[in-house]
Amino acid sequence: MSEELLVELDNLKTAEKPIIVEGKKDKEALKKLSIYCVFTIKEPLFKLCENISKKYKDVIILTDLDKEGKRLYSKLKENFERNGVKVNDRFREFLFKETTLRQIEGLNKYIENTQ
């Protein structure tokens, strides 16, 4: 596994920011990496954003890097910014540019295969 990926994962663990993922499998993958402040999309996007915006001023969006994930990312980012929440794109951009990973639920397998 690349040193950069280890650093980015450590940053996620200590970020103390909510991380938004698409589903249960994504959340489980992050939990296995000791990343716990994770929210799944279980309600309308505007409602999720409103609820998180009441408690946090920064957020990380880790939707998948496929067509649907990109669509969700855009809608979430727009809603969060409308609610005055800053979106941290660092890890998402790192995954997109530096790895072949396209689905968050595959993160553990990706790490295993690159060690």
- What the block records as the tokens of 7 is 């650093």
Strands 58-61 and 86-88 come out as parallel
This prediction's pTM? 0.91
Q: What is the pLDDT at residue 115?
A: 72
Q: pLDDT tens for residues 3-12?
A: 888 888 999 9
Find out whether 38 and 21 touch, Cβ atoms under 8 Å: yes
Confidence of residue 96 (pLDDT cuts 50, 70, 90): confident
Comparing CA positions, the residue from 74, 86, 16 lying closest to residue 45 is 74
Q: What is the pLDDT at residue 2?
A: 77
Domain 3-113 has CATH 3.40.190.10: no
Q: pLDDT tens for residues 15-66?
A: 889 999 999 999 999 999 999 999 999 999 999 999 999 999 999 999 998 9
Q: Reply yes or no on whether the pLDDT at 86 is more than 70.
A: yes
